[in-house]
Structure 1
Amino acid sequence: MSEKMKPRKGFSSDEGVIEEVLRKGEVLHLALKDTDGVYSVPVNYGFKRGAIYIHSSKTGRKISALALGDEVGFSVLASHEVKPHEKPCKWGCSFSSVVGCGVPRILEDREKIAALNLIMKQYSDEKWEIEPAAASAIEVVEIMITTATARIVDRE
């Protein structure tokens, strides 16, 4: 088995593990590339199996880059705790995270409300009524996940 093929401790490509970490996260860092270069932007998100949903204004660098339809990268840090040690090079962190890539698609107005409800579900257990006019005033993007890996590290 090649080095790339060996399972690494704490890493998982299991969809259930990935979804558990995504459910616990609050901010997704989206890595984009446009004609000005590469950049990362923190966003609120929602998800369902195989897809992440974000919202954006109708203009600006983020939506312009997403409209290109090129693959994007993302990461979510769901938990994080620094673990001090008496020796400086022995410090560590316990954390859970997901990193991955996906292909963006700007949703049509008729698709936006369902996606916005998924975003709201990420942050609230309440049932929200999203007005069609509010949904039409913004862009909503579906990112179809092409690859994702969870990493869970629990240090003593």
Structure 2
Amino acid sequence: MQRPLRKPQKQINDQAQAILERNNILCLGMCLDSQPYTIYMNYGCLNGKVYMHTGAKGLKIEILDTNPRVSLTVMEEVELMNAPDPCKWDVRYRSVVGLGRASLVQDLDEKVAGLAAIARQCGYDGEMKLPPEKVKGLAVICVEVQHLSGKQNQMGEG
């Protein structure tokens, strides 16, 4: 679902990948039986893909087994801009929306690389020592992003 922005001056597609790579919390959107489900997760980017980890069982896994199509939303510089007239309130932000397909990573080396990408993006700069027996019990989600767009709203842009 790629639509042109109603206000194209707000589009920042050229900055979308950089925004995705410098943040570490996203909102993952999924859908099961026409019922939307969103959840905030930390993540890491590696080789054009987005990695997240979760427990090996649960609602996210059930949904992704049925419908691998997902959306990702990342926001930064979010601020409510109050005005004397509440009708003129606005929100300042920069955001990225990605659409793609999610899969559970089966390959142990890719799992380790995905987990390391998450840790790095979340600020860990030490050496990653991940015992294979612990990694095997984790579910690592890989999203192959098929479309990425950026948008911003700064004060006075309408």
Aligned length: 152
In the alignment, residue 39 of structure 1 is paired with which amino acid?
A: Y
Aligned match for 2:87, one of 80, 89, 96: 89
Matched residue, 2:21? 23
Aligned match for 1:46, one of 41, 44, 47: 44
> Within 2, Cα distance between the matches of 1:54 and 1:5?
29
> Within 1, Cα distance between the matches of 2:70 and 2:87?
34
Matched residue, 2:64? 66
Q: CA deviation at 1:63?
A: 1.1
Change (3 A) 1:95 1:7: closer
The alignment partner of 1:134 has SS state of helix
Contact 1:25 1:79 in 2 (8 A): no
Change (3 A) 1:6 1:95: closer
Q: CA deviation at 1:44?
A: 1.0
Q: CA deviation at 1:79?
A: 2.2
Q: How big is each residue's C-alpha offset from its partner over 1:49-98, in whole Å with a ceiling of 9 and x where there is no partner? A: 53111111111110121233531112111221111112221111211111
> Within 1, Cα distance between the matches of 2:155 and 2:124?
31
The alignment partner of 1:99 has SS state of strand
Gaps of 5+ in 2: none
| 2:142 matches 1:142 | yes
| 2:96 matches 1:98 | yes
Matched residue, 2:151? 151
> Within 2, Cα distance between the matches of 1:5 and 1:153?
12
TM-score (norm 1): 0.85
Change (3 A) 1:5 1:78: closer
The alignment partner of 2:115 has SS state of helix
Identity %: 23
Provide the alpha-carbon RMSD of the alignment: 2.2
Change (3 A) 1:6 1:90: closer
TM-score (norm 2): 0.84
The alignment partner of 2:9 has SS state of coil
Change (3 A) 1:149 1:5: closer
Contact 1:46 1:118 in 2 (8 A): yes
Gaps of 5+ in 1: none
Q: CA deviation at 1:46?
A: 0.7
Runs of 4 or more above 4 Å deviation: none
The aligned runs of 1:121-140 (5 Å cut-off) are 121-127=120-126, 128-140=128-140
